[in-house]
Chains A and B, each alone.
Chain A
Amino acid sequence: MKKAFKDSIPVIAGYFPIGVVYGFVFATSGMPWFFAPLMSLFVYSGSIQLVALGLIAVHASYLSLLVTALLIGCRCAFYGLSLLDRYNPRRDPYLVFGLADTTYSIVVANPHGDRRYCYWLTAFIHSYWFLGTCTGLALAKWLPPFHGGEFVLTALFITLGLDTFFKQRQVKPFIAGSIGAAAAALLFPGHFLLVGIGIAACLLAPQTRRQPA
């Protein structure tokens, strides 16, 4: 538990403030305040929760909420691959559910961490996100709302995109994304994300000579 707490400390700087932002902008969704901590407990994904605020505000369909969550979350869908022999989803569903970006990277960086360590680590990081959300809700009560806070979301996606670029040094995903964005904005602006990601996936999936898998 001690080591789990120590390893999780750097994550406070990352998840707590974004949790605060989430709690702060939560009111834009029109939901009662207590849904904010519930979202952070049961959805536990910053990008899904933030994008969903806008969708819920316009009463988007359940299907579009689910599809959006799956598409945005799909970058997590490959985390588990490197933990297939360490995590047993039937015995420890919470560990799998709690595989956020940072939890994953710390677990992978500690190949000898046992089950207890993983549980503590996951719970600590989950709690930073949760407590950040509650703090943001409280702040929103005291501070007047101001224009411009929504840019946090744009900035978050830019940093996540740049992180993938720094790791892989590939321009192709961003070219495919731009083509998808342009085509979706022109043809189906009402289903921008779904169509855009679909087009990008079709462009990236086939084998090309320059980019062997």
Chain B
Amino acid sequence: MIYWITALGFLSLGSALTRFFPFLFGKRLSNLAWVRRLGVQLPGAIMLLLVVYSLHGSYHLSEGVGIAIVILAHTLFRNTLLSIGLGTATYILMTCFVSPT
């Protein structure tokens, strides 16, 4: 129980720090060119890493098709909910019927 409460505290702290960050240091740091560059470019890199991380080393046909569907749907419609829904539904159907993992 103590672990969970403390974990909640640290996650909350981390989340809050990222949102207070620009108000605490923003004026000074935003003048640095490399900080601005990272602010623009790092999120994309992090998202790619999170995609790989969230797969937990499981690379099967189902994952590949699911990812392709999400990319296709999002490129066509740019509707986050639709892309996630279509991709996840495809993935679940694939794991059930086509290539059980």
Contacts and interface: CB of A to CB of B under 8 A. Distances in A.
Contacts of B38: 201, 204-205
A17 interface: yes
Contacts of A180: 45, 49
A160 B26 CA distance: 24
B84 A152 contact: yes
A164 B94 CA distance: 28
Interface residues of A, number: 90
Interface size class of B (residues with CB under 8 A): 35 or more
Contacts of A173: 41-45, 48
> In terms of DSSP, what is the predominant structure of the interface of chain B?
helix
A106 B11 CA distance: 25
A69 B15 contact: yes
Interface in A149-187: 149-166, 168, 170, 172-174, 176-178, 180-181, 184-185
B24 A89 contact: yes
Contacts of B24: 89
Contacts of A151: 63, 66, 87-88, 91-92
B12 A43 contact: yes
Interface in B71-86: 71, 74-75, 78, 80-81, 83-84
